[in-house]
Structure 1
Amino acid sequence: MSSGFTFPKPEFDIESTVERAMALINRTLQPSLEEAQQVVDKVRAGRPLVAPGELVGQVTRGNRIRAARAVSYSLPSILPGYGTAISAAALPVALREVLKEAVSAVIKVGLLYDRDLTDPELTRTAVLLVLTDGAVELDKTGRIRPDAILGPHARLLEQAGAYDALAALTAQERQEIAASQSEMLRAWALAVGPPLLAGLLPFGLGPMAAANYVQHVLKGTVTAAARVFGPATPAPVTVEELPPREVQQDHPRP
C-alpha cells in the first residue's frame, strides 16, 4: 500500500529572487574607505613607480577571490533535489556578497587613481555608474536599456574619465541619476543573477561554473571602474616608460 503523501517539487523564480536580493543589496553600497586605502597603500608601497593601470589587478585580487567563495551557497546542490532548493533559497545572500566585493573593488580602483572619494553622494553615484556599465556589458537579453534607466546621462556609460564628468554635474543632474538607483541596482542584479543559476547544477558541476562566472563579473567590474576613474585622455609618457632606443642621454661635448 503506497502512501498518498508526496514532497512538493522545489521551484525557483529568478524575478522573486532578485526582489529578495534587492532588499539586501541596497544596504551594501557603503564600503570602508579606510580599509580600501590600506590595501591600495600596501600595493603602492611595493611598486611605487608603476602606473595605476598596472596595479588594478593586484589591488582587487582579494575581492575576486572572496567573490568566488560567495558561491559556496551552491554547495548543497551537490545533492540533487532538495539540495538544489536550499541553494536557490540562499542565492540572494550570495548575490549580495558578490555585490559587496564588486563595490569594494570599485572603491579601491578609484583610490588607486587618486580620486577624492570623501563625498559619499558623488562616490555612490560613481559606483552605481560602474555597476550599470558592467550590467550593460553582461546583459545578453536586451532587457537592460541604459536610456530607460539614466535618460540623457546614459552618455556617461563607456565614457573614459566619466568621474570628472560626474563631478562637473549640477546638484540637480546628480539627483536625477541618484533617483534611478533602484533601477541601476536591479539592472545589475538581473544581469548577474540568472547566470549564477549554473551554481545549482548537481553533482558538483554548479559551484565550479558559478565561481568562474563570478570571476568574469569582477573582471568586468574592475575594467569599468578603471574606465570611469581613470584619465579621460592618455596619461603623459614618462622617461621610465619609453623604450631604451628612444631615450637619449645628454653627453658633455668635448
Structure 2
Amino acid sequence: MDTLKVAVGQFPASNDIEENKQFISQLVSKAAMAKVELLVLPEASMCSFASELNVLREMSQRHTPDFIEFIKQLSIQHNMHIVVGVLSLNKDPAEQRVQNQLLVLNNKGEVISQYNKIHVYDAFKFKESDKVQPGTLYEDGSMFGIFKIKEFCFGLINCYDLRFPELARALVSRGVNVLSISANWIPGAYKEMHWDLLLRTRAVENTSYVLASGQTAPKGVGQSMVIDPMGFVLASCGEQVGIQVQDLSIKRIEEVRELLPCLANRRLV
C-alpha cells in the first residue's frame, strides 16, 4: 500500500480522433506491460482546444461520449487508473463555450473525479476564455479534482493552472500528496524553462510528488516528467511520443516532510 507504480505519457493530439485513440492505445499498452497502476495523459487528449469554437462544440457533441467510453474500456482491459483531458459541452444550454476537463477513470472504468479548468489560458496573446468557460468556484471546495489510490492522494491541475501556486496549496491543504498536472504547454520564448521551473517549484514548496504530462510538438513542448518531493526530476520523456514509469513511495513523502516541514511551519493559511 505504500508504493504505487505510475507513468506519464505524451503525444500530439489533433482533431483526428482516431489517430489520438491510436496514440493513447499505444501508450496504455506500454504502461500495462510495465504494470503501471496510474497513467497520466495530457490536457485535451481528445482534440485540439486551439480550434474555433464551432469546431470544439461539434467535437464535444459528436465525440466526447464515445471518447470517454474508449478510455473506460482501456482502463478496464488493462486494470489501470487513467487521467485524461477532454472537452465537453456546457451543462447550461445558454453558455456556448465548452468546458476543458480532466477526468479520472479507475481500473473499473468508473469516473471517480472530474475537474473543470479554473484558470483558462488568457496569456501570451492567446485567449482561451473566448471558447472555454472557467470552472466555477464553490465555497466548499467541490470544484477541486481530488482522488485516492492506496495511501496516495492526488490533486488535479490543468496546464495554465500551474502558474497559480494557491491552487496547488489548496489541494495540498486538503490532504493531497501528489500533484497530477496535464497540459498542452504551448512553445514560445522562455516557455519550456517556465514549465520545468514551475513544476519543480510546486514539488518543493508542497513537498509533494509531481506527475506532469504534456502534449508533444508541434503544439506542445513535451517534457512530461515525474518529480520527487525535493524537486529533482526522477524521469522525463523528453520531446518524443512515449511514457516514463516511476514508483512513488509514501515513505519518501514522509521523510521529506519531516526533513523539510514547511507545510507544518506555515503561519499564513
TM norm. shorter chain > 0.5: no
Calculate the TM-score normalised by the size of structure 2.
0.24
* Larger RCO, structures 1/2 (Cα 8 Å, 6+ apart): 1
Larger relative strand fraction: 2
Query: Which protein shows a greater Rg?
Result: 1
Larger relative helix fraction: 1
Calculate the TM-score normalised by the size of structure 1.
0.25
